[in-house]
């Protein structure tokens, strides 16, 4: 594994944590993406969620415009499996009220036991799901 991968991962993580810090300090809100999406979809205050999510798209766009690599679609990944996983991610994060950002980055930062349990749960189930899909069903 290239050292630059680790450096990018670490620096990217610090930026994510830094953004979550600024967001919390300035607006008093937790920068959890699934919560922000739910706000945009279902609640009256739509301006700040729309701006925050637009910022995320713009930030990624800047990275790609500067020559950062964007993902290439997998050739053989089954469409129905992708759709199924999308519904699970949406429904699951709504039910658990948090995803990798809300429970992972912010919840762990607040030393929340609830978020620690959530993070350990989705990480361990994620490991298992990847194992089953890749090594038992042979989907890559």
Partner 1 sequence: MANIFALITGLIFGFGLALSGMTHPEKVLGFLDVAGQWDTSLLFVLCGAVGVTVVSFRFITKLKAPVFAPIFRLPESNAIDKPLLIGSALFGTGWGISGYCPGPAVALLASPNWELWVFLPAMLLGYVLHWYLFKPQAQKSAAAAPENTKAEPPTCG
Please report, as residue ranges, which positions from 117 to 136 form the binding site for partner 1 (by CB under 8 A).
117-119, 121-131, 133-135
87 binds partner 1 (CB under 8 A): yes
Assess contact for 24 and 30: CB atoms under 8 A: yes
In degrees rounded to 5, what are phi and psi of residue 113? -65, -40
Site residues for partner 1, 41-60, by CB under 8 A, read 41-45, 47-49, 51-60
| Cβ-based neighbour number of residue 21 at 10 Å | 14
Site residues for partner 1, 14-43, by CB under 8 A, read 14-35, 37-39, 41-43
Tokens 């499996």 locate to: 81
Tokens 């996983």 locate to: 85
| Six-digit token string for 130 | 């990847």
138 binds partner 1 (CB under 8 A): no
75 binds partner 1 (CB under 8 A): no
76 binds partner 1 (CB under 8 A): no
- At its nearest, how many Å lie between partner 1 and the CB of residue 116? 9
111 binds partner 1 (CB under 8 A): yes
Give the residue among 40, 49, 32, 27 at the shortest CA–CA distance from 97: 32
| Cβ-based neighbour number of residue 129 at 10 Å | 13
- At its nearest, how many Å lie between partner 1 and the CB of residue 3? 10
- At its nearest, how many Å lie between partner 1 and the CB of residue 54? 6
| Six-digit token string for 46 | 């739509």
């Amino acid at each position: 594994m290239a050292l630059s991968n680790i450096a990018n991962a670490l620096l990217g993580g610090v930026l994510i944590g830094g953004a979550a810090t600024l967001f919390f300090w300035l607006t008093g809100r937790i920068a959890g993406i699934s919560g922000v999406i739910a706000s945009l979809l279902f609640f009256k205050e739509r301006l700040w969620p729309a701006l925050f999510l637009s910022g995320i798209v713009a930030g990624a766009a800047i990275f790609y415009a500067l020559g950062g690599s964007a993902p290439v679609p997998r050739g053989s990944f089954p469409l129905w499996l992708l759709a199924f996983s999308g519904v699970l991610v949406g429904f699951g994060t709504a039910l658990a009220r948090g995803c990798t950002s809300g429970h992972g980055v912010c919840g762990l930062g607040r030393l929340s036991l609830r978020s620690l349990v959530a993070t350990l749960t989705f990480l361990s189930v994620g490991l298992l799901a990847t194992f089953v899909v890749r090594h038992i069903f042979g989907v890559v």
